[in-house]
Amino acid sequence: MNGIKLNFINRSNDTNNSTVVIFQQNVAEDFGETAIAWQVIKNCRRLDNHPFVYPFNFQVSASDSYGNYTPQLRAFDGVAFDMLTSTSGDVLQLSSIPATSATEVEVRNQLMQGAINANCYRDGKLLAAKTGLAPGKKAVFEFQPKIYIGVVSQIEEGDVMNSAIISQVNTEINLFGISSADIVMTGGAHGKSSVPFNFSLENINN
């Protein structure tokens, strides 16, 4: 199995058709400042569902200030990638020197000049990024099988979320050991009957 099958179900009392965001924490970096909206679920009305997959593996690529991106390379814990200048130009390639930690993935800027951005993708969608990586510097990525989910407004997939937005997302879901599950949203409504949104796992298969 290459990933975890998840199914978001809206059982809330929300009538505003709220937007749900899902993201991950790069535990190799200080958390709380910024994160990237990995999955954004929109227009999922009450009792509707939205299936998606959480792949175990992720990919990395590098981009430059001109808006150019290298091909996405499959990443595994403990490996490192070097951004180098070759006869055909700047390329990102697997390094013969592993990452410092066996649980992390590194992207190193080995160019003589020019900063790069290191980008991580899961299921083809931007998951995390380290921008302005100067020559000789590296980005370090590590993800635990956990997602964060919450209701926010005016957010798109791939958007960078600041600490103010992140503070609105207070549900952590541990996916360790799970092969499939439903993520059920309850709560919502207006006025005196209003309660906070709640997210919980149901129909869990290990």
For 56-86, how does the pLDDT look when each residue is reduced to its tens digit (9 = 90+)?
Answer: 999 999 999 899 999 999 999 999 999 999 8
Q: What is the mean pLDDT of residues 43-47?
A: 93
Cα 26 to Cα 39, 42, 66, 105: the distances in Å are 16, 25, 26, 11
- Across the range 109-116, mean pLDDT stands at 95
The pLDDT tens digits for 167-205 are 888 899 999 999 999 999 999 877 676 788 999 999 999
Q: What is the mean pLDDT of the chain?
A: 92
Q: How far is Cα 90 from Cα 62, in angstroms, rounded to an integer?
A: 10
Distance between CA atoms of residues 194 and 149, nearest Å: 19
Above 70 in pLDDT, residue 55? yes
User: Is-above-0.75 flag for pTM?
Assistant: yes
All structural domains of the chain with their residue ranges? 3-56+144-205, 58-141
Backbone conformation region of residue 200, classed left if phi is above 0, alpha if psi is from -120 to 50, else beta? beta
Task: Work out the percent of the chain whose per-residue pLDDT is above 70.
Answer: 96
β-pair type (105-109, 138-141): antiparallel
| Residue with tokens 């055909």, as numbered in its chain | 88
CA distances from 148 to 35, 51, 89, 93, 112 (A): 10, 16, 38, 31, 38
CATH of domain 3-56+144-205: 2.60.40
Q: What band does 88 get if pLDDT is binned at 50, 70 and 90?
A: confident
Q: What is the pLDDT of residue 32?
A: 54
Separation in Å, CA 73 to CA 9, 88, 198: 32, 18, 36
- Nearest CA to 158 out of 64, 52, 37, 53 is that of 37
Question: Using one digit for the tens of pLDDT, what is the confidence trace for 19-36?
Answer: 999 999 999 986 556 799
- Give the pair of three-digit tokens for residue 126: 């931007």
To which residue do tokens 């083809």 refer? 124
